[in-house]
């Protein structure tokens, strides 16, 4: 019998045995650095001349691996494979589909530290962040498999005498999975397996900076018994392969996670009906954020400062959920600001293979350049309290940076930076703080640090974000506990890791039989 779902525990690296296990994982990863990986189309491995090369962001010359790059012809071949495989996969019993996910979870759990070490090397994730990414991937596999089992026979509807009514969920068809680099295992795997366990077939286009971990995941799914053609692996350029697949008449749905701009481009293109297309494409889009921690005057101020620092600088602020601004009621502003600066100055930074480093790099040169240009903007808009410097000579290191006294309407306070930069501003009172917190076009995460119950209630009603936290930071949602997804320009509020996520990949069919 399937055991009840429980999230995968995080690894305690204070224990010697766990540290050794991680180092063994790192050795395994080092043994295969620089290898080539193929496309996988209908179970066939296809190598192309042109490659996407994945580098270590902490050591720009170290090649993590080289992945074959799909073009339009290969994308078309993959599409036809997925269309064909859908005819049989949709009829496979839900229990059998779920078993593939359970087995894949077990395989990843057994190779947990190897996967985490690969995330350290390929994405620049410090040990604890990499461990959380791997744990979340396991959680998605375990959770979505169980969710599918709960809806496999539909949900009850009413019947009348001599009439039998049913309400069942059936799969949609071929889905395009487009994933980001910042949770290169968890989000890539989660979005892929939710679609597959529902009975769909997919084309997976991972982010070009982190394709190796995706290639390894595809191998896991094969080992877990996934039939050929169900998961087709097509790394490639967003503009070429991405657009082609989004536009394709046989694409039934798109599951996208990434930036606002690319999400909106997909939204627009997917809404166009192309020749031969007989449906309106469905879009699941998880996009950016400009996430805020609000600090009330009645609050544990140490908790406020530690929450801001951890949420702003964990994985160098490269989480859609990261705290990129704090709005602090003026009575306690100076106290919180000073403590945030003190704590930030204590953070260690360097190569993430060294577990004493709290922070490492940003992902690549273009991210580095973009964040550094925002730092220059910040210097004109506010007061630089600490950080503000970068070094891209060996890897893409940017110091954790705090700006103070910002105008709530400034660019630093309103635009997603996606790096280790946090802006602080003063509010007159709690109502004003919530007003500022709602002043962006995003609505992903937020947190409120307060001991005032009326203010908690006000924030519950008025702080317009998909994931709102009280008296903690604003990152780190757990699958099945804090379903994750945002409002407004943060996406379609498709709550990943939530009880209705699988249904987004399905359509409901009513049947009514007269006796």
Ligand X SMILES: N[C@@H](CCC=O)C(=O)O
**Residue from 418, 430, 469, 501 binding ligand NAD (CB under 6 A):** 418
To the nearest 10 degrees (0 to 180), the angle between helices 112-123 and 94-110 is: 70
∠ Cα 359 361 365 (to 5°): 165
Is residue 156 within a helix (H) or strand (E), and if so which, with residue range? none
Sign of CA dihedral 258, 244, 205, 67: negative
Please give the C-alpha separations between residue 411 and each of 165, 241, 291, 312, 378, in angstroms, as whole numbers: 55, 33, 14, 17, 8
The DSSP secondary structure of 344-406, one letter per residue, reads HHT--BS-TTSTT-SB---SSHHHHHHHHHHHHHHHHHSEEEE---EE-SSS-EE--EEEES-
Considering the rule CB under 6 A, would residue 289 count as an interface residue with ligand NAD? yes
Active site residue ranges:
286, 320
Binding of ligand NAD by 214 (CB under 6 A): no
320 binds ligand X (CB under 6 A): yes
258 binds, among ligand X, ligand NAD, none (CB under 5 to 8 A by kind): ligand NAD
491 binds, among ligand NAD, ligand X, none (CB under 5 to 8 A by kind): ligand NAD
**The pairing of beta strand 51-56 with beta strand 59-68:** antiparallel
Q: How many CB atoms lie within 10 A of CB 362?
A: 28
Query: Within positions 299 to 358, which residues make up the interface with ligand NAD, using CB under 6 A?
Result: 320
- Check the CA dihedral 268-269-275-279 and report its sign: negative
> Which of 100/477 has CB closer to ligand X?
477
Q: Are 459 and 470 in contact (CB under 8 A)?
A: yes
Element (H, E) at 59: strand 59-68
> Binding segment for ligand NAD among 88-96, 106-114, 178-186, 339-347 (CB under 6 A)?
178-186
175 token code pair = 């889905």
Residue 181 binds ligand NAD (CB under 6 A): yes
Q: Which does 227 bind (CB under 5 to 8 A by kind): ligand X, ligand NAD, none?
A: none
**Cα–Cα dist 112/163, whole Å:** 51
Q: Identify which of 490, 488, 444 has the alpha carbon closest to the alpha carbon of residue 467.
A: 444
Query: Which of 238, 341, 347, 458: binder of ligand NAD (CB under 6 A)?
Result: 238
Stretch near ligand X under the rule CB under 6 A, chosen from 78-86, 121-129, 198-206, 472-480:
472-480
Binding ligand X by CB under 6 A: which of 77, 319, 325, 505? Answer: 319
Candidates 150-158, 326-334, 349-357, 470-478: pick the segment binding ligand X (CB under 6 A): 470-478
Q: Could you give the count of Cα atoms lying within 13 Å of 4 in the half-sphere of its Cβ?
A: 1
58 contacts which partner out of ligand X, ligand NAD, none, CB within 5 to 8 A by kind? none
Name the one range near ligand X by CB under 6 A: 46-54, 105-113, 259-267, 314-322: 314-322
Per rule CB under 6 A, is residue 140 in the interface with ligand NAD? no
179 vs 201, beta carbon nearer ligand NAD: 179
476 counts as binding ligand X under rule CB under 6 A:
yes
321 lies in the site for ligand X, by CB under 6 A: yes
Judged by CB under 6 A, does residue 478 bind ligand NAD?
no
Nearer to ligand X, 65 or 485 (CB): 485
Instruction: Pick one of 118, 367, 385, 477: the residue that binds ligand X (CB under 6 A).
Output: 477
Mask 179-218, x = binds ligand X (CB under 6 A)? Answer: ---xx-----------------------------------
How far apart are alpha carbons 142 and 480 in whole angstroms?
A: 10
Residue with tokens 């490492």: 360
Pick the binder of ligand NAD from 81, 123, 226, 246 (CB under 6 A): 246
Total site size for ligand NAD, rule CB under 6 A: 32
CB 475, CB 447: distance < 8 Å: no
Report the interface residues with ligand NAD, using CB under 6 A.
178-183, 187, 205, 207-208, 238-239, 242-243, 246, 257-259, 262, 265-266, 286-289, 320, 416, 418, 444, 486, 490-491
């Amino acid at each position: 019998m399937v055991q009840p779902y429980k999230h995968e525990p995080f690894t305690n690296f204070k224990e010697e045995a766990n540290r050794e296990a991680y180092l063994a994982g790192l050795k395994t990863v080092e043994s295969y650095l620089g290898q080539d990986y193929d496309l996988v189309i209908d179970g066939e491995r296809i190598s192309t001349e042109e490659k996407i090369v994945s580098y270590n962001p902490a050591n720009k010359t170290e090649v993590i691996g080289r992945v074959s790059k799909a073009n339009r012809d290969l994308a078309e071949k993959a599409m036809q494979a997925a269309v064909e495989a859908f005819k049989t996969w949709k009829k496979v019993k839900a229990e059998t589909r779920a078993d593939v996910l359970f087995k894949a979870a077990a395989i990843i759990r057994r190779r947990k530290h190897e996967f985490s070490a690969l995330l350290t090397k390929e994405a620049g994730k410090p040990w604890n962040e990499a461990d959380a990414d791997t744990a979340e991937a396991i959680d998605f596999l375990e959770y979505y498999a169980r969710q599918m089992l709960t809806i496999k026979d539909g949900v009850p509807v009413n019947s009348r005498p001599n009439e039998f009514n049913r309400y069942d969920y059936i799969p949609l068809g071929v889905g395009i999975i487009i994933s980001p680099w910042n949770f290169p295992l968890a989000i890539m795997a989660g979005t892929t397996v939710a679609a597959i366990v529902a009975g769909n077939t997919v084309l997976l286009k991972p982010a070009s900076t982190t394709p190796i971990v995706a290639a390894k995941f595809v191998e896991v799914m094969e080992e877990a018994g996934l039939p050929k053609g169900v998961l087709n692996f097509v790394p490639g350029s967003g503009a070429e392969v991405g657009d082609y697949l989004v536009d394709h008449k046989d694409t039934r749905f798109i599951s996208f996670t990434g930036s606002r701009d690319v999400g909106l481009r997909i939204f627009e293109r997917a809404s166009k009906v192309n020749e031969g297309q007989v449906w309106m494409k469905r879009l699941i889009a998880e996009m950016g954020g400009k996430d805020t921690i609000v600090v009330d005057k009645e609050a544990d101020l140490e908790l406020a400062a530690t929450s801001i620092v951890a949420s702003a600088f964990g994985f160098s602020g490269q989480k859609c959920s990261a705290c990129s601004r704090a709005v602090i009621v003026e009575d306690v502003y100076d106290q919180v600001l000073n403590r945030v600066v003190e704590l930030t100055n204590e953070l260690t930074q360097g190569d993430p293979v060294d577990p004493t480093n709290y922070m490492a790099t940003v992902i690549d040169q273009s991210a580095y350049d973009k964040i550094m240009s925002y730092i220059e903007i910040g210097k004109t808009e506010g007061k630089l309290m600490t950080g503000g410097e970068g070094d891209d000579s060996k890897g893409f290191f940017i110091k954790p940076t705090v700006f103070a006294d910002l105008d709530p309407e400034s660019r630093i306070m309103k635009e997603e930076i996606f790096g280790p930069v946090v802006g602080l501003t003063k509010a007159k009172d709690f109502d004003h703080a919530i007003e500022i917190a709602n002043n962006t076009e995003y609505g992903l995460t937020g947190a409120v640090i307060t001991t005032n119950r009326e203010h908690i209630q006000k924030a519950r009603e008025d702080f317009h974000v998909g994931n709102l936290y009280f008296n903690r930071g604003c990152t780190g949602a757990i699958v099945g506990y804090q379903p994750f997804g945002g409002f407004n320009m943060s996406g379609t509020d498709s709550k990943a890791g939530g009880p209705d996520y699988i249904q987004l990949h399905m359509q409901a069919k009513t049947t009514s039989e007269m006796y």
